[in-house]
Structure 1
């Protein structure tokens, strides 16, 4: 069953097209790896898939409220504890049990620590643990292993593989080999837009607030 289909997609950054002509389909249990140099448009494409900015052209087919987006920012409330941060997000997505998320990202021993006191890697693990309390089938991940040591990156790879095994899908911008089963790979260099191509942004769209 197809959970995410993208047809001839073009996205823009700074008023200019970044990539165009991107097409792919992900069925349950499949992963897509986005490759390409810095600035090619990986983050812009993920933001478009997440609904944070409109595409310039093309079509995205995905069930409403089925995507969870993990960006570079961890999205934590510094004064709340690890457990309180996860509980906050769990309530937003109408879920209650945070124990599996704590265990999956090895956060049990930190559950009563304020987020402000965590290391960069610990904050990243907590930010990624939020994916597990969303109940969303489509994970959109922008360099998820940044700030993670090798052991934590392997732990997160296990989390992603488990998500795929349960019928989810994921699109990941990463240069790290996460050893995901039968992952598709798209190098966005092949889809670079013509230099100077205008974005033709929708009327009323202000990229500063996307």
Structure 2
């Protein structure tokens, strides 16, 4: 799905972090978001996901088309791998059985399907968290450092999942410092749009975001 952002300004707490952010992402395209720590990558992604309203500008994407994968895994520790995926499939009103099986196969979770999420390793939790993107059924994937805790093999598995999503006409915006091996991906450096102004916040929750 093609979508775009026009003259977007975003805040973190009381700070104006970004302004003038403008880009387009075509159907079947991945855009890699780069920039130093504190440049506003996470701030932009949270704004796109609807967690923080923009100060200015437009997000030109149809309603309910963006799926967001944040730093946190977003798992229910007492539920099994399959139950977690079924839960998220229900939230996004996907074809539950088909979506869950597709997600399990995509991220090689078959041997873990009945294991509680709380008993998984960090890398396994990350794979389950990323598998949630498959069950959303949404065409736009927005992801913040998705390969954290993944080994080389599973970074490649994640890249194949993104490529499959793009091949179906989806698109992706991915904040990452590593090379994912996506040969057609474009890179967007967020630095030119970074602008810090406003009152500094003492809220540690707000300071946790770039």
Q: Say whether the fold is shared (TM-score over 0.5).
A: yes
Q: Give the superposition deviation at 1:190.
A: 1.6
Corresponding residue for 1:202? none
Cα pair 1:124 1:147 within 8 Å, conserved: yes
For 1:69-122, what per-residue CA distance to the aligned partner results, in whole angstroms no more than 9, with x for missing partners?
000111100001001111111111222121110010010000010111100000
For 1:123-173, what per-residue CA distance to the aligned partner results, in whole angstroms no more than 9, with x for missing partners?
000000000000000000000000111111110000001101110010000
The answer to whether residue 5 in structure 2 is matched with residue 6 in structure 1 is yes
SS in 1 for 2:166: helix
Cα pair 1:11 1:45 within 8 Å, conserved: yes
How many angstroms apart in 2 are the aligned matches of 1:101 and 1:171?
20
Corresponding residue for 1:153? 155
SS in 2 for 1:51: coil
How many angstroms apart in 1 are the aligned matches of 2:65 and 2:2?
9
The answer to whether residue 66 in structure 2 is matched with residue 33 in structure 1 is no
Q: Give the superposition deviation at 1:9.
A: 1.0
Q: Give the superposition deviation at 1:57.
A: 1.4
2:191 paired residue among 189, 193, 204: 189
Q: Give the superposition deviation at 1:198.
A: 3.3
Corresponding residue for 1:122? 124
How many angstroms apart in 2 are the aligned matches of 1:79 and 1:107?
17
1:112 paired residue among 111, 114, 118: 114
How many angstroms apart in 2 are the aligned matches of 1:23 and 1:53?
17
How many angstroms apart in 2 are the aligned matches of 1:63 and 1:92?
18
Q: Give the superposition deviation at 1:22.
A: 1.0
Corresponding residue for 2:135? 133
Report matched runs for 1:57-206 at 5 Å: 57-95=56-94, 96=96, 97=98, 98-193=100-195, 195=196, 197-198=197-198
Cα pair 1:82 1:110 within 8 Å, conserved: yes
- Where does the alignment leave 5 or more consecutive residues of structure 2 unmatched? 200-205
Corresponding residue for 1:56? 55
SS in 1 for 2:75: coil
- Where does the alignment leave 5 or more consecutive residues of structure 1 unmatched? 200-206
How many angstroms apart in 2 are the aligned matches of 1:148 and 1:160?
15
How many angstroms apart in 2 are the aligned matches of 1:10 and 1:134?
27
